[in-house]
Amino acid sequence: MRVSRPLMTSVHGVILLIVLSACTMVGPDFVQPTGDVTQEWIESEDERVKTELPDYKNWWQVFNDPVLDNLVQKAYEQNLPLRIAGVRVFEARALLGIAVGEFYPQVQEGFGSAIYNRVSENAPSSPQSGNADFSFWQADIGIGASWELDFWGKFRRAIQSADANFLSSIAAYDDALVSLTADVASTYVLIRTFEERLKIAYDNLETQQESLRIAQARFEAGATSERDVQQALTQLNGTEAEIPFLETGLRQTQNAMSILLGMPPGQLSDMLAGSGGIPRAPLEVAVGIPAELLRRRPDIRSAELQAASQSALIGVAKADLYPAFSLTGAFGFLSSDVGGFDLNDLFMWESRTATFGPSFQWNILNYGQITNTVRVQDARLQELLLNYQNTVLRAQQEVEDGLVAFLRGQERVALLSKGVEAAKRSAELALIQYREGATDYTTVLTAQQALLEQQDRLASSQGEVPQGLIALYRALGGGWEIRDGKEFIPPQVKEEMEDRTNWGGLLTPAAVQKPPDAKPKESIRVPDW
């Protein structure tokens, strides 16, 4: 069989287009942005601050509190926002599959029809044969395909963008896990702080009740005036009024913990049993060096990957400035019952029909719309690059804030502890002197008020020290490593999704597990069927 020269020319042109499309990509290649990072922490001279690289994986274990360890594990297993972040990883993975599929022939279809036709007697195509009713049946069946070649790298850039979005969704999951572990620990410390403040209030209530009993006894004995009794009652009622406020704060904090655990608000007495009071933080902390934040914090990785995704979209938009080259083709069979033909001849070789060839489309006059679309994408990239730089700066601020809160909090606790001891002694002496008639009740009132205030401030400050350490570990990006080797969604959620939709192999750990420093791939992949 001889092949016509036009056909050979078309084939050669197609081969050339395919070869060229494999090596051309318009648009900028992404360059990792830089952030302004200090060389050392402000508090690095403090002997309690260590610059060696710590193990952040289970940082909450520094408090040596089994109750807290259990709460963090429960939250990791049951927290609903974390599950949402996990599902978004699979959403991004499916979107990546869509982008990969666009690189291959975009249209592959089978077609077929059986159509009855009646030609108008007045139509130009009428046979004019005296047969006023010219009608016929026509049937066809076949396959067709259309493939826009990736001559300018539009589809490869789209794959890069989708891949960066996918990796960014993993970083967002890790960031959610960092926040979750810190929120659980912070809420737990707040619960214990409220409990300690309530204990202090009840202890002072007993002391003030004893003072009231003494004041009443002295008043009834005629040794003092009724004013002492009323002062004692005023102080006692004020302390009693503080208790409902503290109980409200405790209940609301417990409710917040329930939500973090993925549970309806309710009693957490079983989970919180075995309290050792407010968790005690170690005196020292290892923070590493500022440059390590760029590798550790998931939100910084996510900001970089979002910029990488947007950078690739510039190339996608820029490709529309150039002609789009496509290959189209179809093969099938067509027959009709006109004249001596018959619909049963449909599958005879003589009924075959075929089309094939290259084509191009070029938006020549677009009134600057494509150019401005490229500018829009470039402006969005610049926004994300600036956002990356701001994220780096904010991360350093959060570390410094947590560090100074932790260090100064320790100093505050030490000073308040001395103040509490002095206030206790002062209140004891005042009550003894009042009982013996050596001073008036105002002295007792002042001393007991000072004691309650100092004890309450001390309890709050004892909670602020671990809170500062928790904020520091949050700022350092600790805690996300506990998901290593584990799935992003629990088995029950995975089963629910698989029962509803065919996910193929995308819900397996191998489909989504990526190292934290993974970069978008530039190579072409096999589609996800």
Report whether 45 contacts 280 (CB < 8 A): no
48-52, 228-232, 249-253, range with the lowest pLDDT = 48-52
20-29, 188-197, 512-521, range with the lowest pLDDT = 512-521
Average pLDDT, the chain: 87
State yes or no: pLDDT of 232 exceeds 80. Answer: yes
Sheet holding 107-119, edge to edge: 107-119, 134-148, 324-336, 352-361
Higher per-residue confidence, 133 vs 185: 185
Position 385 scores a pLDDT of 96
Structure tokens at 65: 């509190």
Higher per-residue confidence, 444 vs 7: 444
Q: State the pLDDT confidence band at 284, using cuts at 50, 70 and 90.
A: confident
Among 307, 443, 484, residue whose Cα is nearest residue 381: 307
Position 73 scores a pLDDT of 95
Return the exposure string of 28-51: e unless at least 16 CB atoms fall within 10 Å of the residue's CB, then b.
eebeebebeeeeebebeeeeebee
CA-derived radius of gyration, the chain? 38
**pLDDT digit string (tens) for 10-36?**
555 555 555 555 567 899 999 989 888
Percent residues over pLDDT 70 in the chain:
91
Q: Which residues contact 308 (CB under 8 A, 6 or more apart)?
A: 30, 160, 161, 164, 519, 520
**pLDDT digit string (tens) for 132-151?**
567 888 999 999 999 889 88
Report whether 281 contacts 140 (CB < 8 A): no
Position 521 scores a pLDDT of 64
Structure tokens at 352: 């075959």
Residue range 451-466: mean pLDDT, rounded: 92
Q: State the pLDDT confidence band at 38, using cuts at 50, 70 and 90.
A: confident
Euclidean distance between the first and final Cα of the chain, in Å? 38
Phi, psi (rounded to 5 degrees) for 113: -160, 160
**pLDDT digit string (tens) for 366-397?**
878 999 999 999 999 999 999 999 999 999 99
Residue range 277-289: mean pLDDT, rounded: 88
**pLDDT digit string (tens) for 461-470?**
999 999 999 9
Position 53 scores a pLDDT of 74
Quickly count: other Cβ atoms within 10 Å of residue 475's Cβ: 23
The full DSSP string for 416-438 is: HHHHHHHHHHHHHHHHHHHHTTS
Give the per-residue SS3 of 111-175: EEEEEEEEECCCCCCCCCCCCCCEEEEEEEEEEEEEEECCCCCHHHHHHHHHHHHHHHHHHHHHH
Q: Are strands 49-50 and 285-286 parallel, antiparallel or unpaired?
A: parallel
Helices 80-103/491-500 angle, 10° precision: 40
Residue range 306-330: mean pLDDT, rounded: 93
Q: State the pLDDT confidence band at 1, using cuts at 50, 70 and 90.
A: very low
Report whether 362 contacts 322 (CB < 8 A): yes
Helices 154-220/66-78 angle, 10° precision: 140
Phi, psi (rounded to 5 degrees) for 355: -140, 145
Q: What does the alpha-carbon distance between residue 298 and residue 87 come to, in Å, rounded to a whole number?
A: 17
Q: What does the alpha-carbon distance between residue 48 and residue 284 come to, in Å, rounded to a whole number?
A: 4
